[in-house]
Amino acid sequence: MSSSAANLNTAKPELSRRTALLGALGLLALPGAGFTATPSDAGVWPRPLPVPGGVARLPLGPSAQRPVAHQGEQPLLVVGDMIAWTALVGIPLAAAPGEASISVRTPEDGLRQISYRIAPKRYSEQHLKVSPRTVDLSPEDLARHQRERAHQETVMATFSQPLPATLRMRVPVPGRQSSSFGLRRVFNGQARNPHSGMDIAAGTGTPVVAPLPGRVIDVGDYFFNGGTVWLDHGGGLLSMYCHLSAIDAQTGEVLPAGARLGAVGATGRVTGPHLHWGVMLNRTMVDPALFLA
């Protein structure tokens, strides 16, 4: 069996195969037992959105072992069970809409390619005129930023076990959530990197909590991001918290969901207090909103 064409038609048979197997294993709830074993899209995290900055969910079919999947060189998070595996693919904001593919290896089928389509999405654009001082870095600041970026690259390459038990995140801080993920900013006519996270408005000192269990893999005070904590949730799913006024976690510490990791602030290059929250999958910043209930 190969490619996505075959997978498009397998949704129903897979459900009934799952039902039959769960029944055979005694895992299927009896009618009236208070819950149902029927999967539904409403309970799926992250929500599928195959656009630049979104996440594609690619069905891989059954296999006795968890398939090994890659996008280019980058390992992918594969979730599910031996009846139906799914690869979760973070799609870069810079990706061109159109055909894309991943490679998948299973003991049964060997190595195969699975193709999918990246749909177009138009993000809004913001033109700002600002004092050149605020966009042109001094040689010292530029050197600092380059050192910090090299360090962050090594942090972003983290791909660890165990895989996350759930992908449904709670909000790291209560507050108004901006919809500015993907916003293309142009300062004085120069295009900057698009906004790659969610900004949540909250006052300085408001506690920031882990949205999922995770290991602290980096803390620091960075030129652009200010006080920053990185969490590793396993399987290449990372999250980042920036502009913190306080950091209450140490590298290596394992936090349960809901544990305080720091407090909202206005450190780094910002105009006011807020949390910048980034979610990274297969080394790609994706829209955090897709992981929220």
With contacts defined by CB under 5 A, name the span among 49-57, 165-173, 193-201, 253-261 that binds Zn ion: 193-201
Closest to Zn ion by CB, 84 or 229: 229
Sheet arrangement for strand 184-187: 125-128, 184-187, 190-191
Please list, in sequence order, all residues whose beta carbon lies within 8 angstroms of the beta carbon of residue 75, skipping any fewer than 6 positions away: 68, 69, 159, 236, 282
Q: What is the rounded (10 degree) CA torsion for 155, 157, 161, 164?
A: 80
With contacts defined by CB under 5 A, name the span among 89-97, 128-136, 152-160, 196-204 that binds Zn ion: 196-204
Q: How far is the CB of 234 from Zn ion (least distance, A)?
A: 25
Closest to Zn ion by CB, 72 or 272: 272
Out of 49, 71, 88, 199, which residue is the one contacting Zn ion (CB under 5 A)? Answer: 199
Q: Is 283 in the site for Zn ion (CB under 5 A)?
A: no
Nearest to 92 by CA among 14, 221, 13, 196: 196
Closest to Zn ion by CB, 5 or 130: 130
- Give me 85's structure tokens: 């595996």
Out of 228, 276, 284, 288, which residue is the one contacting Zn ion (CB under 5 A)? Answer: 276
With contacts defined by CB under 5 A, name the span among 104-112, 128-136, 165-173, 195-203 that binds Zn ion: 195-203
> What Å distances lie between residue 237 and 197, 215, 250, CA to CA?
14, 11, 19
- Mapped onto helix, strand or coil, the DSSP state of residue 154 is helix
Q: How far is the CB of 140 from Zn ion (least distance, A)?
A: 24
Site residues (vs Zn ion, CB under 5 A): 197, 199, 276
